[in-house]
């Protein structure tokens, strides 16, 4: 029963975080001149259009990843006009950055909530940390233990999504951000290069292998900022 409740909390957090990510992409594209995602109904916090577009990534894979590893990962997508992106590579890069930025914003809010909870003795640092329990409630009953777990999951999940999506390999958002550092001509050549479907498949495989090595030190840094001097490792 407890695993079911934790799984439900993870799925609610996953769906909320993923919808925020994709809606941010879609809104940024709209503001920057591409109405494709807007016309597809993606500029919304309603999860239904996002789930309908990617049912495997938003339902099947998250459930399977939780059953296998105890945490969730998956994907969704917001459509965009490739010709617009090629013509405006800098705008396309800002659109790509919008999704991870949304995840970073959610993570930051959870960080603040945990720190405020510690300050008011509502939360305390648990002896052992994991992605589902970054903070614990001083109260043993009521809503506070549930809230502590949900905030913990939102923090961990959005840190995962932020880091993973910014790995600069196609088809991840990090590869789409690169044109911000390039001149217009080079950016267009680069975008033509990374949109090869074979590179996207290879990029995902490499990113998945790199993720643990990249995530662990950033995770420890985040924990040290959350609990200065506690010596978690």
Q: What is the pTM of this model?
A: 0.95
Quick one: pLDDT at residue 231?
A: 79
Confirm if 39 and 49 have CB atoms less than 8 A apart: no
Give the whole-angstrom CA distance, residue 6 versus residue 190.
42
What pLDDT, in 10s, does the model give residues 9-64? Answer: 999 999 999 999 999 999 999 999 999 999 999 999 999 999 999 999 999 999 99
SS3 148: helix
Long-range contacts of range 127-135, CB-CB < 8 Å, 24 or more positions apart? Answer: 129/223, 129/232, 131/70, 131/71, 131/156, 131/157, 131/160, 132/6, 132/9, 132/10, 132/70, 132/71, 132/156, 134/223, 134/226
Give the whole-angstrom CA distance, residue 22 versus residue 17.
9
Give the whole-angstrom CA distance, residue 199 versus residue 172.
11
Quick one: pLDDT at residue 170?
A: 93
Quick one: pLDDT at residue 211?
A: 92
Residue 22 bears catalytic tag: yes
Angle between helices 197-226 and 89-119 in degrees, nearest 10 = 30
Quick one: pLDDT at residue 198?
A: 81
Selected catalytic residue, list 22, 54, 127, 192? 22
Quick one: pLDDT at residue 3?
A: 84
What pLDDT, in 10s, does the model give residues 193-233? Answer: 888 888 888 888 899 899 989 999 999 999 999 999 887 77
pLDDT of 109 strictly over 80: yes
- Domain boundaries, given as residue ranges, for the chain: 2-226
Give the whole-angstrom CA distance, residue 197 versus residue 78.
17
Q: Where are the beta strands (DSSP E) in the chain?
A: 123-124, 136-137
């Amino acid at each position: 029963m407890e695993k079911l409740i934790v799984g439900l909390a993870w799925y609610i957090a996953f769906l909320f975080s993923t919808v925020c990510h994709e809606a941010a992409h879609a809104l940024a594209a709209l503001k920057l001149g591409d109405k494709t995602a807007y016309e597809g109904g993606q500029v919304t916090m309603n999860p239904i259009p996002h789930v309908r577009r990617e049912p495997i990534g938003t339902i099947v894979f998250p459930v399977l990843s939780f059953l296998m590893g105890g945490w969730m990962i998956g994907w969704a997508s917001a459509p965009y006009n490739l010709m617009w992106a090629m013509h405006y590579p800098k705008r396309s890069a800002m659109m790509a950055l919008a999704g991870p930025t949304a995840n970073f914003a959610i993570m930051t809010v959870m960080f603040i909530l945990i720190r405020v909870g510690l300050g008011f003795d509502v939360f305390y640092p648990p002896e052992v940390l994991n992605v589902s329990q970054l903070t614990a409630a001083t109260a043993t009953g009521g809503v506070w233990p549930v809230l502590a777990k949900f905030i913990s999951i939102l923090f961990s999940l959005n840190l995962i999504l932020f880091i993973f999506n910014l790995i600069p390999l196609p088809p991840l958002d990090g590869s789409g951000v690169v044109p911000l550092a390039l001149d217009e001509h080079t950016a267009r050549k680069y975008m033509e290069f990374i949109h090869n479907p074979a590179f996207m498949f290879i990029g995902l495989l490499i990113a998945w292998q790199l993720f643990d090595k990249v995530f662990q030190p950033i995770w420890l840094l985040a924990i040290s900022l959350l609990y200065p001097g506690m010596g978690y490792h």
